Amino acid sequence: PDFVQVAMAPFIKDIHKKGIRVVSNAGGVNPHACALALQEVVKKADLDMKIAVVTGDDIMAEKESLKKAGITDLESGRSLPDTVNSMNVYLGARPISRALDHGADI
């Protein structure tokens, strides 16, 4: 909510008018909900902006196979803990640049 309502909503018309393209690591565990909330802000401001979402970094489904493969913490060498609530990987800038290349404003 902070990103959408505090950082974006009050400035969305200026962002659009000035052609500013926004790249953010927002959305936490639900980037699609963040995009929908942003779309509502854009709609309420009567603007036409393209909002992209980059996904694919959630590897939680791979937890057991990674444990079986003996994956360990890079720094400590410890194995994965039994209780893991989230597992994400860094995808690099390529997916973001692709979204921008395809016309994403946000």
The SS3 assignment for 105 reads coil
Closest CA to 31 of 83, 84, 99, 81: 99
Instruction: Enter the pTM of the model.
Output: 0.81
Beta carbons of 42 and 20 less than 8 angstroms apart: no
The overall longest dimension of the chain from CA atoms, in Å, is 53
- The per-residue pLDDT of the chain, averaged, comes to 93
pLDDT (0 to 100) of residue 32 = 95
Query: Is the pLDDT reported for residue 1 higher than 80?
Result: no
pLDDT (0 to 100) of residue 82 = 83
The predicted-structure confidence for 26-73, as pLDDT tens digits, reads as follows 888 789 999 999 999 999 999 999 999 999 888 999 999 998 999 888
The SS3 assignment for 79 reads strand
